[in-house]
Amino acid sequence: MSKTAWVFPGQGSQALGMGTDLLELPEAKEKFAEAEEILGWSVSDICQNHEDKLARTLYTQPCLYVVETILADLIAQEEKPDLVAGHSLGEYIALYVAGVFEWSAGLRLVKRRAELMENAGGGKMAALIGFDREQLNKILAETDDAVLANDNSSAQVVISGTPEAIESVLSQVKAKRKLPLNVSGAFHSPLMAEASAEFKDVLASIEFHQANVPVLSNVEPVAAVEADTLKQRLIQQMTGSVRWREIALALPEQGIERVIEIGPGNVLTGLIKRTASGLKLENVRSAAETKLVKS
């Protein structure tokens, strides 16, 4: 039997209507109801009717957590992963699936994370596609308040920092495409230090258990199961870079032959395809697609 990794997308993968086909499933109904108690608003209502709110960090992150965890639980009735990883917010779903914390504890973490990130204004992020990595690294090294936030693939990265610093980098670097992102702050950069410090206190109150499958973390893409290690890496995540390119490269090194992306869209399988060849890639975006998964 081939070794399988489950991967979970983060903010930016959300889509209006996601999770709609989950609403009639009894196990999903319970989760949606519990989520409403914790959040004070309806995930299903936001996902179905409010595209503007769904695009806001405050709502995006809890909605993705609820939908992706429900999908993962459905697949887990038939098979289990050999390894898990998630992109930014997706790491929280990966940790839940690995049994590191309880579902409600994870949602409370995501709720507070979203609140802190929503309020961390004053920064800017931009994606670069088709760029010279050596040139970009040199420019970033010479520019205060600008960092590599998401190393997604050899051809696509996201930079983060102050508006002035990001504009300076964009004016100097050569790239096929330069896309400013519609986000509220400079996520995955030192400018998130204040929010990260506050979030560290929240994390301290949540009990982490040893993972039942290895986890590749964003800030340190080396497989780990130890509770303290995984919590420390999560503490660093808000200010640290998402090293997704290295996670993709680590998959075959871990003996992974098959990757299932669980959640809306197909961003992660697309990035993995460009980085690590020879892997069987699948996507589960709906309840119907959970039935197509064959281990």
221 and 105 fall within a common domain: yes
Mean pLDDT of the region 226-255? 96
Residue of 88, 217, 241, 286 with catalytic role: 88
pLDDT attached to residue 288: 87
Residues 74 and 194 in one domain: yes
Query: Is residue 1 over pLDDT 70?
Result: no
Pick from 71-80, 99-108, 116-125, 245-254: least confident: 116-125
Q: Look at residue 122 in the predicted model and tell me its pLDDT.
A: 81
Please indicate whether residue 286 is annotated as part of the active site: no
> Is the pLDDT confidence value at 290 over 80?
yes
Is residue 295 over pLDDT 70?
no
* Interval 265-280: pLDDT, tens: 999 999 999 999 899 9
Determine contact, residues 3/258, Cβ cutoff 8 Å. Answer: yes
Average pLDDT for 51-71: 95
Stronger pLDDT, 258 or 78, i.e. the higher one: 258
Do 96 and 202 belong together in one domain?
yes
- Upper half-sphere CA count for residue 165 (Cβ side, 13 Å): 21
**Do 115 and 42 sit in the same domain of this protein?**
yes
Do 107 and 135 belong together in one domain?
Answer: no
Report the range of poorest mean pLDDT among 12-16, 149-153, 261-265: 12-16
Report yes or no on 295 lying in a domain. Answer: no
Residue at which a domain ends, from 159, 180, 201 = 180
Does residue 246 sit within a domain?
yes
Same domain, 38 and 162: no
- Residue 162 and residue 237 in one domain: no
* 87 is an active site residue: no
pLDDT number for residue 294: 57
Per-residue model confidence (pLDDT) at position 254: 95
Average pLDDT, whole number, for the chain? 94
Q: What is the pTM of this model?
A: 0.95
**Domain CATH number, residue 222:** 3.40.366.10
Separation CA 72–CA 88 (nearest Å): 17
Q: Does residue 165 share a domain with residue 202?
A: no
Lowest mean pLDDT among 106-115, 176-185, 252-261: 176-185
Domain shared by 106 and 156, yes or no: no
- Give the tokens for residue 75: 């697949």
How many distinct structural domains can be found in the chain? Answer: 2
pLDDT digits (tens, 9 = 90+) for 7-33: 999 998 899 999 999 998 988 999 999
Determine the pLDDT at residue 164: 96
Check which CATH number belongs to the domain holding 142 and give it: 3.30.70.250
Given 180, 208, 226, the domain boundary residue is 180
- Clarify whether residues 96 and 11 are in a common domain: yes
Q: Is the pLDDT of residue 184 over 90?
A: no
The per-residue pLDDT for range 191-205, each reduced to its tens digit, is 999 999 999 999 999
Is residue 185 a part of any domain in this protein? no
For the residues 124-144, what does the mean pLDDT come to? 96
* 31 and 50 part of one domain: yes
Does 73 lie in the same domain as 41? yes
Cα separation, 236 vs 8, whole angstroms: 19
Structural domain harbouring 76: 3-119+190-290
* Predicted pLDDT at 153: 95
Q: What integer pLDDT is reported at residue 220 of this predicted model?
A: 96
Name the active-site residue from 87, 160, 188, 196. 188
- Residue 192 has a pLDDT of 94
